[in-house]
Amino acid sequence: MFLDAIKFDRMKKCNFELLLKIFLAVFAISWFHFLKNGVVAMDDIDFINYFNDPNIRFVDKTFLNVVANRFRPVFNIVQYIVYFFCENNYQLWFYFNVSVNIVISIVFFNIIKKITKSLFITFIVSVVYLTSRCSYYNITQMNGILEALCILLVLFVLNNVINYWRSRKAEFPLALIIGYLLVVFTHERYIIIVGFLILFFFLCDFISLLQKISFSLICALIPFLNIFVKKCVLKIPFLVGTGSTTELGFHVKSFIGHCIYSTMNVVGINIGPRYLNGLYFDAIPAQMKIVSLSVAFISLAIIVFYIYCFIIVNSERNSRIIEFKKTFLALSAIGLLIISFSVTRRVELRWIYMPFIIYLVCVAYCSGLIKEKCFKENFVLKRIMFFVLFIFMILSIGIDWQYRKHVDSIFFMEHQMRVSNILKQTSAHYGSSLKNYDIYVIDPSPCVDWLTALNSILKANSNISDLKVITILSKNEIPRNHDKILVFDSVDNFKQILLK
């Protein structure tokens, strides 16, 4: 009878956990649903047209893809597989991206549950992850699978780090090294986490010095392998893909500024230009500023309280050392990830997503330990803590909802709107018959090659190409013979000018 009762309790817990995961999936779909009517824009146009080109070999689209001097074979292979099924259908790509984000949220959910043993805390931080304003690139752009894949691989590495720390089984170092290899050849930015892995191995007091050195050397060889393949085999620069660092150089002042702004974004304060962050911090209402600062305060207060209780005043030396190591590793991971993109010319929210996720893991772990060790015997304090975490979630959703209203200000979404206007005025009206017209585009200060731009946009979105496009400065240059010509005003939302 006693064993049956235990089995029943476990079954109830498993069913409740499954319900929470289903809720997260439904919540993710409903949260991002308003973005589903996008179009192929910006980098997606180039990628679709490149993959559409029958003259380019499969191997050049995947394993040896070095377009724009970027070598990311793991990403290119996954992208090609998805392209095989979705082609240039934006809605299919959108729902695929949402599905990947749900998978990430489930993996994240499982990791948090493992380190906190609390479904409540796990659910809270999983919702905060899903609603993050950092997620919109992953969801809206076909190339968003790049960042999503990196997040999935880093979480795989993190999960194996946790498993190895806890179980000390020999298979976990191999798994996390493989995960690191894959993420480095997905995006070169993640080379920097080699520092975290070396720190981790040397802080593990349950392995020998020889094992520490061996594991660290294997990890350190992976960046050199990446550099060797790029420089010696493919003859391309090393870091062009990382925000054009190689092309533009490194500037100390902007690096320090980016580190500060990135750290503020990680803790929940949206700092950055409108075209990257959707809305200036100064532009939001006063009450929302208070909400934003409150989100940062709550999460930081939890971490500070954890440090005070388990590192500063902890009388058990071994326990204090272990918690110090964990804190040092977590801060190192966040710091290294921030450094990796702060060397660039700008900081995008999609780059901040990974350190933000690690930060949420820290908040969850600290909350779980405080609940278990400090408030275990105190029902009231435990409920107060749960209430504070619930407020943290509600405020996070509130501030993300505020920025959600201004997502169209982000440069990619803005470009999607422009492309959408062009498609409404051209292919939506005329379809493939556009080829029968001479298309004139009025552009008073031409800085766009409209012949290339229009052909690329329509080819990627509507499979229409080989259009005849002429750029003119004003209406006065419109030919007198109006037969078989179309005129569009690039300044006025690409509105068609009807000719008499």
Q: Could you tell me the residue ranges of all domains in the chain?
A: 18-412, 426-496
With pLDDT > 70 as the criterion, what percentage of the chain qualifies? 95
pLDDT digits (tens, 9 = 90+) for 99-123: 999 999 999 999 999 999 999 999 9
What does each C-alpha distance from 302 to 115, 119, 309, 371, 376 come to in angstroms?
16, 18, 11, 11, 16
pLDDT value for 211: 92
* pLDDT of 150 over the 90 cut: yes
Residue type, 258: H
278: three-class secondary structure by DSSP: coil
Pick the closest to residue 136 from 469, 410, 467 (CA basis). 410
* pLDDT of 286 over the 50 cut: yes
**Confidence tier at 8 by pLDDT (50, 70, 90):** very low
pLDDT: is 461 or 239 the higher one?
461
Q: DSSP letters along 95-111, please?
A: HHHHHHHHHHHHHHHHH
Stretch 144-149: mean pLDDT: 93
Q: How far is the C-alpha of 24 from the C-alpha of 21, rounded, in Å?
A: 5
H or E segment to which residue 293 belongs: helix 286-307
Q: How far is the C-alpha of 231 from the C-alpha of 51, rounded, in Å?
A: 25
pLDDT value for 408: 81
**Confidence tier at 430 by pLDDT (50, 70, 90):** confident
- Joined together, the tokens standing for residue 391 give 């407020």
445: three-class secondary structure by DSSP: coil
Q: How far is the C-alpha of 85 from the C-alpha of 351, rounded, in Å?
A: 27
Provide φ and ψ at 468, rounded to 5°. -95, 110
Q: How far is the C-alpha of 378 from the C-alpha of 311, rounded, in Å?
A: 21
C-beta of residue 138 within 8 angstroms of C-beta of residue 350: yes
Dihedral of alpha carbons 325, 360, 168, 311, sign? positive
pLDDT digits (tens, 9 = 90+) for 167-214: 888 889 999 999 999 999 999 999 999 999 999 999 998 899 999 999
pLDDT digits (tens, 9 = 90+) for 464-492: 888 888 888 888 888 877 778 888 888 88
What does each C-alpha distance from 376 to 9, 169, 318, 385 come to in angstroms?
21, 30, 21, 11
The DSSP symbol for 498 reads: P
pLDDT: is 498 or 316 the higher one?
316
Mean pLDDT of the chain: 88
pLDDT value for 314: 81
Q: How far is the C-alpha of 298 from the C-alpha of 306, rounded, in Å?
A: 12
76: three-class secondary structure by DSSP: helix
Pick the closest to residue 85 from 142, 45, 124 (CA basis). 142
Helix/strand number for the chain, H first, E second = 21, 4
**Confidence tier at 454 by pLDDT (50, 70, 90):** confident
C-beta of residue 461 within 8 angstroms of C-beta of residue 88: yes
Beta bridge partners of 485: 438
pLDDT: is 246 or 453 the higher one?
453
* pLDDT of 243 over the 60 cut: no
Q: How far is the C-alpha of 45 from the C-alpha of 465, rounded, in Å?
A: 13
pLDDT value for 5: 47
pLDDT value for 10: 63
**Confidence tier at 411 by pLDDT (50, 70, 90):** confident
- Joined together, the tokens standing for residue 6 give 């235990």
Enumerate the H helices of 343-378 as residue ranges: 349-369
Q: How far is the C-alpha of 363 from the C-alpha of 351, rounded, in Å?
A: 20
Q: How far is the C-alpha of 304 from the C-alpha of 497, rounded, in Å?
A: 62
pLDDT value for 74: 95
pLDDT value for 115: 94
Helix H, strand E, coil C: the string for 380-404 is: HHHHHHHHHHHHHHHHHHHHHHHHH
438: three-class secondary structure by DSSP: strand
